[in-house]
Amino acid sequence: MALAKDIEATTADGTTNLPYTYVHTQTWARATNAITRMDLRRWRHDADGSGQEIIRRLPDLPRVDHQPDRAERKLLAQVPAAAKRYLVNSLHPYLPDPLPTDATALADALAPRKLATEPAYPRMLTGGVVALSSSQYLNREQRAATLRVLAAVPHINYLGQITDLAGRPGLGFAVSADGSTSQLVIDPRSGDILAAQERLTGRRPGLFSYILILERGHTASTATVVQPSPTQHPAGTGTQASDLDRQRG
In the beta sheet, which residues pair with residue 35?
Answer: 30, 61
Taking the C-alpha atoms of residue 132 and residue 97, their distance in angstroms, rounded to an integer, is 12
Instruction: Provide the 3-class DSSP secondary structure of residue 238.
Output: coil
In angstroms, the Cα distances linking 244 to 23, 239, 247 are 10, 7, 6
Instruction: Provide the 3-class DSSP secondary structure of residue 172.
Output: strand
What are the tens digits of pLDDT across the range 120-142? Answer: 999 999 999 999 999 999 999 99
Taking the C-alpha atoms of residue 16 and residue 2, their distance in angstroms, rounded to an integer, is 26
Question: Tell me, what's the pLDDT at 237?
Answer: 35
Which element (helix H / strand E) includes 145?
helix 140-151
For residues 189 and 8, the answer to whether their CB atoms sit within 8 Å is yes
Question: Tell me, what's the pLDDT at 224?
Answer: 36
- Which of these, 25, 58, 57, 8, lies nearest to 164 by C-alpha position? 25
Return the C-alpha torsion angle 9, 188, 144, 12, nearest 10: 30
Question: Tell me, what's the pLDDT at 159?
Answer: 97
Question: Tell me, what's the pLDDT at 223?
Answer: 62
| Residues of the chain under the 70 pLDDT cut | 223-249
CA angle 245, 246, 248 (to 5 degrees): 70
Question: Tell me, what's the pLDDT at 226?
Answer: 26
For residues 41 and 77, the answer to whether their CB atoms sit within 8 Å is no
